[in-house]
Amino acid sequence: MITETFHKILQENSKAIRAFNFLKKHDIVLLSIMVGLLAGCAAVLLKTMLHYGSEFVIDLFEPSDTNYFFIILPIIGVTLSFIYVTYILKDNISHGVSRVLYAIAKKRGNLEKSKTYSSLIASTLTIGFGGSVGPEAPIVLSGSSIGSYIGRLFKVDYRTMLLLVACGAAGAIAGIFGAPIAGIVFALEVLMIDLSLSSIVPLLIASVSGALVTALFMGRDVLFHFSMKNDFEFRNLWFYLLLGIVAGFVSLYFLKISEKAESIFARYKNPWNKILIGGGFLGILIFLFPPLYGEGFVFISYILQGQTEVLFNNTWYYPYQDNTFIFLGFILALIFLKVIAMSLTNGSGGIGGVFAPSLFVGGMLGFFVARLLNETLHLNLPEAYFALTGMAAVMSGVMHAPLTAIFLVTEISGGYRLFIPLVFVSVSAYLVNVYFHRHSVYTKTLAEKKELFTHDKDAMALSLISLSNLVEKSFTVVHPNDTLGQLVKAISCSTRNVFPIVENNNKFMGVVTLDHVKTLIFHPEYYEKIYVKELMYSPKYTIDISEKIENVVKKMSDTNDYNFAVLDKDTYLGFVSRADVFSAYRKTIKELSSDY
């Protein structure tokens, strides 16, 4: 009876254990669904807030007066964003994608819980009042923060934490654009360290979940509706290649202006001066060129639908829209001024990304090139197709993410008929840009600070090692005025063969090793005649506690020493050994490479 009961309990427990192991093995799938759905909800919330926020702002004024209020609206929006970020949130949430990259490289994927919503509110205030930026970087920061929060909530390991951060970004991009493949590719191309099957499946699930949420609440056409009626013609491929090369230089201009504006605004210590100067100039630009208002996707939609006359509404140039030269000049001005307007928005304190501006500039550029060639060479190039491929080209150059650009435009255009020209323009623009500008708009600042590791597993593994955790303090300390006899006594009580020499204030003076004194140990007559300061020597390298672990490894590879003194300026703290550093490195690499 007892035996039968025992077997019954064992069978029941074995089923429970198998169920638990199944869930444990597949918990990353469940977590990725959760992260994707929440990121999609964040995308829906942001798009809804932007839509009704912009309508509310515009409806405050009479249509005839709206143009004039464009001058002050950006100042109001940036001011509200600044007050919210500085005095309510008390945090820095600008450069959203760069902050995600930094968190992956230096903070083990940990993002503050407040970033799940803070960038949504700040970007709504900025863009709703006309800030010429996009909501994509804020939504990436929000989605990644959701993934990070879920990871901390379920106490996942480091590798899973990184994947959940990427799942949040993928779900957010898929949700904001309604493009699940682009969300996956963005996470792999911009955020992830490496590509593996174990990461693809959760990313796919999270991305589809995010896109599904927006499809349910907002319909399939999240940005704009465009249906391709005809395939592209191969005889136009050379013109697409020309567009790609031109887009490469335009994207280079995009990056250079962004960097220049950031350096100029950094000189202003008073934030209110930034708001008045940046917001004021931005308002003037929007007043003169209304298509610069907000993210600008609605104007791209007009171009794709052939309603180019709408671009001139509420402008002084409306009577001249039939003049070919003025029309082309107006479009060219939008291309170059959009970058300046974006830089003024971010530089003055607004919150937004470069995703939408790069698509706007690319769409206008593609349309401009096609219209110019059609007018001058009497061709019949499809202007809408060139606008779409131009979007991918400039985005590829600015973000150094050609695959993301290709699949994003492929998905929002509703098919793969433009896939070949998209590859041509994106790759050519990327190659032109990367030849002159090594880093993308997201990685430039981090690379200059030597904090960009997400695409270098070795460098990232080293960056995650904390030097303070490796310091050993079990070394026997001696003093310069100690005698050889006192040193011998210290040697007899120690298990180490290296002895740091410090003064009374713990100032590091040098070291003495057992190898250097072992012949003197057997001569007691020298015990009171020889002092430690006569035996000590200065090692080739010492290590400061604030030093980066990459520099520590370089020093270790440049000498045969096994132990290295660790100092806080001149104060002795302990030693770090080769074995401990490389053991920590191997452990971190194992964490980064482990499968689920």
CATH of the domain at 158: 1.10.3080.10
Residue 6 covered by a domain: no
- Residues 467 and 336 reside in one and the same domain: no
- Residues 386 and 242 reside in one and the same domain: yes
Q: Which of 364, 343, 361, 360 is nearest to 352 (CA)?
A: 343
- What residue type is 291 in one-letter code? P
Domain end: 218, 253, 281, which one?
218
- What residue type is 357 in one-letter code? P
pLDDT of 192 reads 65
- Residues 465 and 438 reside in one and the same domain: no
Domain residue limits at 122:
18-218
- Residues 213 and 256 reside in one and the same domain: no
- Residues 303 and 434 reside in one and the same domain: yes
Q: What is the average pLDDT value for the chain, to the nearest integer?
A: 83
Q: Which of 518, 516, 515, 529 is nearest to 485 (CA)?
A: 529
- Residues 517 and 556 reside in one and the same domain: yes
- Residues 182 and 265 reside in one and the same domain: no
Residue 239 covered by a domain: yes
- Token digits for 120? 């949504």
- Residues 427 and 383 reside in one and the same domain: yes
Residue 295 covered by a domain: yes
Decide if pLDDT at 3 tops 80: no
pLDDT of 221 reads 58
Q: Which residue has the higher pLDDT, 27 or 390?
A: 390
Domain end: 187, 218, 249, which one?
218
478: number of CA atoms within 13 Å, CB side? 30
Count of residues making up the chain = 596
Residue 3 covered by a domain: no
Residue 5 covered by a domain: no
Q: Which of 305, 401, 297 is nearest to 359 (CA)?
A: 297
List phi, psi (to 5°) of 180. Answer: -65, -40
Residue 46 covered by a domain: yes
In this predicted structure, which of 89-98, 169-178, 428-437, 556-565 has the lowest mean pLDDT?
Answer: 89-98
H or E segment to which residue 501 belongs: strand 498-502
- Residues 251 and 312 reside in one and the same domain: yes
- Residues 115 and 247 reside in one and the same domain: no
H or E segment to which residue 64 belongs: helix 63-69
Count of the separate structural domains present in the chain: 3
- Residues 55 and 174 reside in one and the same domain: yes
- Residues 385 and 472 reside in one and the same domain: no
- Token digits for 92? 């820095």
CA distance 360 to 387: 9
Q: Over pLDDT 90: what percentage of the chain?
A: 24
Q: Write down the pTM of the prediction.
A: 0.79
Place 594 in a pLDDT band, splitting at 50, 70 and 90. Answer: low
The full 3-state SS of 287-339, as one line of letters, equals: HHCHHHCCCCHHHHHHHHCCCHHHHHCCCCCHHHCCCHHHHHHHHHHHHHHHH
pLDDT per position as a tens digit, 294-327 = 888 888 888 888 888 888 777 777 777 778 888 9
Instruction: Give the largest CA-CA distance in the chain.
Output: 107
Place 418 in a pLDDT band, splitting at 50, 70 and 90. Answer: confident
Domain end: 160, 193, 218, which one?
218
pLDDT per position as a tens digit, 90-139 = 777 667 777 888 777 777 778 888 888 888 888 888 888 888 898 888 88
